[in-house]
Amino acid sequence: MSGASATAWCAVGALLFTSPVGAPVGGAQVTARAMAHEVGDALSDVGYVWGSSLRADRSGWAVAGLSVAGFAMLLPIDRHVDRWVVGHQSAAVFDVLAPFREQGPLTSLVTARQLVPISAALVLGGVVSGRRGLREAGWGCASALAVSSTMRYAVYLLVARPRPSIAEGSQYGFRVPGGDWNERSFIAGHATNAFACTSFWNERFDLGAGEPVLYATATLIALSRIADRRHWTSDTFAGVVVGTAIGRVLATRYTHRASVRNARGSAAPRPAPIVILWRTTF
């Protein structure tokens, strides 16, 4: 079994007995109409997240402002972190990160190459078993990946930032417009993808002990890109923030739809009118 297949079926097993927040997962036949609705929801979610900034309230803009401030505060230390990485490759922390680094077996875990089959396996498992939760786990991660990918490539077209491996210690090398692969340090793609799917799964599902495991894995993936000198620390911070926001917005959408379904299902049927006919002979 390939690495992608093994990962996909591990994800299926992890979520098989998990219920979404706000909606029970039961076995039921999946119709073509239901699948069409789910595909439509997944596509509309991508557009909804893209337009979420237009609907942001004051608290949302405050969080965005704090995130920008956090990114700015990390810029001065980017070079120092990168120097430490270069001079301490034998440190024990790099042994922990080894499976997720470029030469490790899980280096592509959160790229489209593996997230697409993982999402497809979850949806297929949900179709076969009739479990809505599995299908939602697949569609939600696929939507998160779509938002992350389109957003990042839009940024890459607009802004160039050399990766630490070629920047020679200059962390302020931003320029417009974007550049080639070596100048796509901002923002960190692996971190964005990892936290987008992870935050969606953890917000939408009650995973119990699996929640910290998923977040720990996403964190190791993000740190591995700093260790490989593909992204500065500030780029990784931006990816974590953006990915987490994507996942949470998508989870809120699914929870809202579940609430609507539950309200419809629990609505008391309207009583049939009672008609009394009187017949009299004179």
- Write out 34-50 in H/E/C secondary structure: HHHHHHHHHHHHHHHHH
How much is the pTM?
0.86
| More confident position, 55 or 211 | 211
Q: Per the domain annotation, does 25 fall within a domain?
A: no
Q: Per the domain annotation, does 272 fall within a domain?
A: no
To which residue do tokens 């596509």 refer?
43
Q: Among 10-24, 32-46, 182-196, 245-259, where is mean pLDDT lowest?
A: 10-24
Residues in a beta bridge with 160: 175
- Give the CA distances from residue 39 to residues 123, 148, 156, 195, in Å, rounded to whole numbers and listed in that order: 11, 18, 28, 22
pLDDT of the residue at 281: 45
- Cis amide bond preceding 177, omega within 30: yes
**CA separation for the pair 200, 16 (Å, rounded):** 16
| More confident position, 3 or 129 | 129
| More confident position, 273 or 260 | 260
Q: What confidence tens digit (pLDDT) does each residue in 148-177 have?
A: 999 999 999 999 999 999 999 999 999 999
**CA separation for the pair 50, 181 (Å, rounded):** 24
pLDDT of the residue at 261: 85
Tell me how crowded residue 41 is: count the other CB atoms within 10 A of its CB: 17
DSSP 23: S
**CA separation for the pair 184, 17 (Å, rounded):** 39
pLDDT of the residue at 18: 52
**CA separation for the pair 121, 199 (Å, rounded):** 19
Q: Per the domain annotation, does 158 fall within a domain?
A: yes
Q: Per the domain annotation, does 35 fall within a domain?
A: yes
For the chain, give the mean pLDDT: 87
pLDDT of the residue at 264: 79
Q: Is the pLDDT of residue 182 over 70?
A: yes
pLDDT of the residue at 17: 40
**Total structural domains in the chain?**
1
pLDDT of the residue at 229: 97
Tell me how crowded residue 267 is: count the other CB atoms within 10 A of its CB: 8
Q: Per the domain annotation, does 279 fall within a domain?
A: no
Q: Average of pLDDT values for 136-157?
A: 96
Specify whether the CB–CB gap between 178 and 160 falls below 8 A. Answer: yes
Q: What confidence tens digit (pLDDT) does each residue in 66-125 have?
A: 999 999 999 999 999 999 999 999 999 999 999 999 999 999 999 999 999 999 999 999
| More confident position, 258 or 7 | 258
Q: Per the domain annotation, does 267 fall within a domain?
A: no
Contacts of 172 (CB under 8 A, 6+ apart): 75
Q: Could you tell me the residue range of the domain that residue 237 belongs to? A: 3-15+31-259
pLDDT of the residue at 52: 87
Q: Per the domain annotation, does 151 fall within a domain?
A: yes
Q: Per the domain annotation, does 271 fall within a domain?
A: no
pLDDT of the residue at 19: 58
